[in-house]
Structure 1
Amino acid sequence: MLWLYNIGIQLYALLIRIFSTFNTKASLFIKGRRNIFARIAQKINTSQKHIWFHFASLGEFEQGRPVLEKIKEQYPEKKIVVTFFSPSGYEIRKNYALADGIFYLPLDTPSNAKKLIAAINPELAIFTKYEYWYHYFRELNKNGIPLLIISGIFRPGQIFFKPYGSFHRKMLACVSHFFVQNEESIALLKTINIQNVTQSGDTRFDRVAENAHTTKKLNLVQSFCRTKPVFIAGSTWPQDEQQLANLCKAHPDWKFIIAPHEIGTSHVSEIEKLFPDAVKYSALQTTADPTALNHQVLIIDNIGMLSALYAYGKVAYIGGGFGAGIHNTLEAAAFGLPVIFGPRYDKFQEAKDLIELGAAKSISNGSELSAAFDELSKNEEAGLTAKDYVNTKTGATGQIVGYLSRYFKP
C-alpha cells in the first residue's frame, strides 16, 4: 500500500505542475515550495527546539490559533514554526507575528520528511483537525517527537475504519494524543484500538468567541449599513450567489453584504451582474461620492474582513453548502446571528446542533432560502440561541494547553 501512496503523491505533484500553467492557486503551490529548504535554513536556527504547528489551510489555522497563542502567552520563550499545505492559508497568514517561521509544507516524501524535521528540530508537533501524512508522522514517531491532533473529528465513512484501511491506521498509530470534538470520534477510535483520546471540544469556539468580544470597528461598513437591517453572506460561491440574487430583489428594505470565497476579478464581475445595485468595497474606499453608500449591496473584494463583518448583521448566510461543504458558521453565531446554509453540512457538528436548536436552517433552493429568511429574520430568539450555543462550548484551548504542560519544562 505504501508504494501506491507514494505514487499518489508524485501524481499529485505532476497534476499541480500542469495546473500551475493556468491556475493561480496551483502556481502559488509550486512557487511557494521552490527552494523551500534553503529558505527554511535562512530563517530557522536548527540548534534550537521549535513547536511545529501544521495547518491545511486558513480555516484550520483559525481553529488552531487559540492554542498557538495561549502557548506563546504562557511560554513566551518557545519558538514556533508554522506550515501550511494550501496557498489560501499561507498567502494570507505568511506574516503572522507570533511564528518564528512560516512555510509551505513540502510534499510528503521520505526525503522531505527527514529534511524538514531535521531543519525545524521540533520538540512537539501539533496538527489541527485534518491532514494525515504518512512520512511526516513516521519520521516524528521514529525520532520520539510527540505528535498531537487537536479539534479532530472522525466519521464512520473514513478509510481508517474500513477493512482495507490498515495502511491509514498506521498513520493514526503515530499520534501521541488525540483531542477530538465529540463522543462519536472517541467511540470510532476505540473500534480500531486507539485509546489515547480526550474529548476537548472544538477550539474554534474559543477563537470565534474571542473575536466577537475584540473585533475591530469598520467605519466604512457602518456608514454603508446605516440603520437598515443587514444580511451578511460569507464565503460564498457562485451557486450560493445565484440563490441570493432573488432574495435581495425581494427585500429592497434590507442591505446585503457579500464576502465571496474567491475574490478574483472575474468572479467579482459575475457577482456584480447578479446584483445590479452593488458597489465594491474597494470603490467605497476610493470614491468621494457620498451617494455610493446608497447602494443596496456591498461586495467585499478583499480577504480578512469577514470575521468583523458579522457585527453589523442580523441574519447570515454561509457559503459552500452547494459544493464540498459549508464554511465557518460559528463566526456568525458568535455575534448572535442565526445562520442559513446549503444542503452539504453533514460533516459539521456545529451546523447540526444549530439546526436542532432552531438557530439555523439548511436550504436547497431559492424558495427554501426565502422561507428560511422570513422565519429567522423575525425570530429574535434564534440569534440569542446561536450566541449562547457558542459561549457554552468554549474551553477546549485551556484543556489542550493544560495537557501540553507535561512536555514543557518550567
Structure 2
Amino acid sequence: MVFLYNLSIRFYQLLVFIASAFNTKARHFYRGRVGIWEKLKSQIEPNSEIIWVHCSSLGEFEQGRPVIEAIEQKKPNAKILLTFFSPSGYEVRKNYSRADYIFYLPLDTYSNASRFIKMVNPAMAIFIKYEFWYHYLNELRKKSIPTYLVSGIFRPDQVFFKPYGGWYRKFLKAFTYFFVQNQQSKDLLASIGYTNVMITGDTRFDRVSRIASDAKSIPIVENFASNHKVLVAGSTWPKDEDIILPLVTKFPDLKLVVVPHEVTEVHIKDIMGKSPVPAVRFTKSNPEEVKQAKILIVDTIGLLSSIYRYGHVAYIGGGFGVGIHNTLEAAVYGIPVIFGPNFQKFQEAKDLITRKAGFSIKTYDELVDLLNLLLFDKNFYQLSASEAKQMVNSGVGATQKILEVITAP
C-alpha cells in the first residue's frame, strides 16, 4: 500500500506540473513549493518552540484560526508555523499576522516529511478537520510529537471504517487526541479502537461569534439595503447565480447582494450579463446608483462576513458543486440560511435544517416557495431567525475546551 500511495503522490505532482502551464491554481500550487527548503532554512529560528498548524484550505483555516489566536495568548513565546495544502488558503492568508511562519506544505513523500519534521522540530502539531498525510503523521508518531486533530468530523463512508481500510487506519495512530464535532464521529472512532476522543464541536462557532461582535459598518451596502428586505448571496458559483438572479423579478420589493466565491473580472461580467435588471458593482458605482439598484455585486474580497448583517435572508453558495461554504457566518446574525443540495458533509448545515433555521433547495421553484414563507410569513421567519441565532450561541466554547487539553502541563 505504501508503494501505491507514494505512486499516487508522484502522479499528482506530475499532473500539477503539467496543469501549471495553463491553470492559475495549479501554477500557484507548483511555484509556491519551489525553493521551499531554502525558505524554511532561512526563516525558521533554531531552538524555538514551534507549534505547527496545518490547514488544507481557507475553510479549514477559519476553523484553525481561533485555536491559533488562543495559543498565541496562552503561549506568547511560542512560534506559530502555519502551512497550507491548497493555493485557495495560502494565497489569501499568506500575510496573516498572527502566525510567525506561513508556507505551502511540501507534498507527502517520505523524504519530504522526514526533512520537514527534522528541520521544523515542532513541539506539537495540529491538523484541522480532515487532513491525513501518511508520511507526515508517521514521522510525528516516530518522534513522539504530540499531534491533535481539531474540529474533526468522521463519516461511515470514509475509508477508515471500511473492511479494506486497515492500512489507512494506521494514519490515525499518530494522533494524541481527536477533538471532534459530533457524537457520530466519536462512535465511529470507538468502533475501530480509538477512545482518545473529545466532542468539542466546531471552532468556527467561536470565530463567527467574534466576527459578528466586531462587524464593521459598510456604508455602500447600508445605503443599498436601507428600508428593504435583502437577500445576501455569499460565496456563489455560476449555478447558484442562475437561480438567485431571477428572484428580483419574482419579488419586486426584494434586493439582492451577490458576493461571488471567485472575484475575477470574467466572473463579475458574467454575473452582470445574466442579471435580469441592471446591476451595480461595489467598487464602481456612485451612492445614487447603489441606492436605486436592485442587485449589488461585491467585486472585492474580505467583506462577506460583515455584509451578512444587512441581510433578511442568506443564501450560501457551493451547494450545486462540491459542497456549501460557511453557513455560520450568516446564521450568527440571526437570519435564516438557504443552500443547495450538497450539504451532507457539513454538520452545522444539518443542525440548521433540524432546527428549521436552514433550508436546502434543489430548484428555482423550491427557492421561490421557501422565500414566500420567509418574506411574508412573519411567525415562520421569526422562529427560523431565532433558531439560527440560538444554534450559533450554543456552539461557542470549542476553542477553550481544546486549549485546556493541549496546553495542560
Cα separation, 1, equivalents of 2:367 and 2:120: 49
1:303 is paired with a residue whose SS is coil
Structure 1 position 118, deviation (Å)? 2.0
Query: Equivalent residue for 1:301?
Result: 299
Quick check: 1:46–1:118 contact (8 Å CA) kept in 2? no
Quick check: 1:49–1:120 contact (8 Å CA) kept in 2? no
Cα separation, 2, equivalents of 1:148 and 1:117: 16
- Where has structure 1 moved over 4 Å in runs of 4 or more? none
1:282 is paired with a residue whose SS is coil
Cα separation, 2, equivalents of 1:318 and 1:376: 16
Structure 1 position 262, deviation (Å)? 1.2
TM value normalised by structure 2 = 0.96
Structure 1 position 133, deviation (Å)? 0.2
2:18 is paired with a residue whose SS is helix
Cα separation, 2, equivalents of 1:393 and 1:242: 33
1:122 is paired with a residue whose SS is coil
Deviations 1:108-150 (A, max 9, x none): 0111111211222200000110110000001111111111001
The counterpart of 2:327, out of the listed 318, 326, 329, is 329
Structure 1 position 180, deviation (Å)? 0.4
Quick check: 1:67–1:397 contact (8 Å CA) kept in 2? yes
Query: What is the RMSD computed on CA atoms of the aligned residues?
Result: 1.2
* Correspondence list, 1:68-87, <5 A: 68-87=68-87
Q: Partner letter of residue 187 of structure 1?
A: D
Quick check: 2:290–2:296 contact (8 Å CA) kept in 1? no
Structure 1 position 292, deviation (Å)? 4.2
Structure 1 position 406, deviation (Å)? 2.1
Deviations 1:58-90 (A, max 9, x none): 111111111111111122111100001111111
Cα separation, 2, equivalents of 1:74 and 1:173: 27
Q: Partner letter of residue 86 of structure 2?
A: S
Deviates more, 1:314-323 or 1:215-224: 215-224
Deviations 1:298-319 (A, max 9, x none): 1112221111111111100011
The counterpart of 2:308, out of the listed 307, 310, 315, is 310
Q: Does 1:400 align with 2:399?
A: no
2:13 is paired with a residue whose SS is helix
1:283 is paired with a residue whose SS is coil
* Correspondence list, 1:204-353, <5 A: 204-275=204-275, 276-284=277-285, 287=286, 290-353=288-351
Cα separation, 2, equivalents of 1:96 and 1:68: 11
Cα separation, 1, equivalents of 2:356 and 2:394: 16
Deviations 1:241-267 (A, max 9, x none): 101122122123222111111112221
* Correspondence list, 1:38-117, <5 A: 38-117=38-117
Deviates more, 1:393-402 or 1:214-223: 214-223
Structure 1 position 343, deviation (Å)? 0.7
Quick check: 1:146–1:176 contact (8 Å CA) kept in 2? yes
Cα separation, 1, equivalents of 2:190 and 2:311: 43
1:173 is paired with a residue whose SS is helix
Q: What is the aligned length?
A: 404
From the superposition, tell whether residues 226 and 21 of structure 1 become closer, same or farther in structure 2 (CA, over 3 Å). same
Deviations 1:126-178 (A, max 9, x none): 01101100000011111111110010000000000011111210101111110
Cα separation, 1, equivalents of 2:292 and 2:266: 24
1:45 is paired with a residue whose SS is coil
Cα separation, 1, equivalents of 2:298 and 2:32: 26
Q: Partner letter of residue 163 of structure 2?
A: P
Where do 5+ consecutive residues of structure 2 fail to align?
none
Quick check: 2:51–2:81 contact (8 Å CA) kept in 1? yes
Deviates more, 1:263-272 or 1:63-72: 263-272
Cα separation, 2, equivalents of 1:172 and 1:375: 46
From the superposition, tell whether residues 351 and 292 of structure 1 become closer, same or farther in structure 2 (CA, over 3 Å). closer
Cα separation, 1, equivalents of 2:103 and 2:343: 31
Structure 1 position 226, deviation (Å)? 2.0
Q: Partner letter of residue 399 of structure 2?
A: T
Query: Equivalent residue for 2:359?
Result: 361
Cα separation, 2, equivalents of 1:48 and 1:183: 37
Quick check: 2:48–2:78 contact (8 Å CA) kept in 1? no
Q: Partner letter of residue 183 of structure 1?
A: Q
Query: Equivalent residue for 2:369?
Result: 371
Q: Partner letter of residue 263 of structure 2?
A: I
Q: Partner letter of residue 232 of structure 1?
A: V
Q: Does 1:388 align with 2:386?
A: no
Q: Partner letter of residue 282 of structure 1?
A: T
From the superposition, tell whether residues 250 and 89 of structure 1 become closer, same or farther in structure 2 (CA, over 3 Å). same
Q: Partner letter of residue 401 of structure 2?
A: Q
Deviations 1:216-239 (A, max 9, x none): 221222122222111100111111
Q: Does 1:129 align with 2:116?
A: no
Cα separation, 1, equivalents of 2:31 and 2:297: 30
Cα separation, 1, equivalents of 2:47 and 2:105: 20
Quick check: 2:49–2:79 contact (8 Å CA) kept in 1? yes
Cα separation, 2, equivalents of 1:36 and 1:293: 49
Quick check: 1:317–1:341 contact (8 Å CA) kept in 2? yes
Quick check: 1:48–1:121 contact (8 Å CA) kept in 2? no
1:351 is paired with a residue whose SS is helix
TM value normalised by structure 1 = 0.96
Q: Partner letter of residue 30 of structure 2?
A: I
Quick check: 2:233–2:257 contact (8 Å CA) kept in 1? yes
Cα separation, 1, equivalents of 2:23 and 2:370: 36
Cα separation, 2, equivalents of 1:131 and 1:393: 23
Q: Partner letter of residue 355 of structure 1?
A: I
Cα separation, 1, equivalents of 2:99 and 2:129: 20
Cα separation, 2, equivalents of 1:138 and 1:16: 25
Where do 5+ consecutive residues of structure 1 fail to align?
none
